[in-house]
Amino acid sequence: MKRDAVWNLLADAEKIYVTSGKKIIVFEPESAEKEDLLKRATGRTGNLRAPTLRRGTTYYIGYNDELYETLIIE
């Protein structure tokens, strides 16, 4: 999925959690800087990073043990 399609997918989300190493960055698309969000949500090839999980209107992009442990508990 390329950048334009990624934005179309994520633009209506309530929240987006993107992992960057051990950090978890939280975006709210309506107030987020589009280029910063796309830079973090896509990989070097410009495609949506994997894994990507949608739960309701929230997206989880990338893998981080802490993030997925939180999802299991909820």
φ/ψ of residue 70, rounded to 5: -65, -40
Please give the Cα distance from 74 to 72 (Å, whole number).
6
pLDDT bucket at 70, cuts 50 / 70 / 90:
confident
Residue from 30, 68, 31 nearest 60 by CA: 68
Query: Where do the domains of the chain lie?
Result: 3-73
Task: Kindly report, residue by residue over 3-51, the tens digit of the pLDDT.
Answer: 889 999 999 999 999 999 899 999 999 999 999 999 999 999 889 999 9
Peptide bond into 51 cis (omega under 30): yes
Q: Note the helical H segments in the chain.
A: 3-10, 34-41, 65-73
Q: What letter would DSSP give residue 20?
A: E
pTM beyond 0.85, yes or no: yes
pLDDT bucket at 73, cuts 50 / 70 / 90:
low
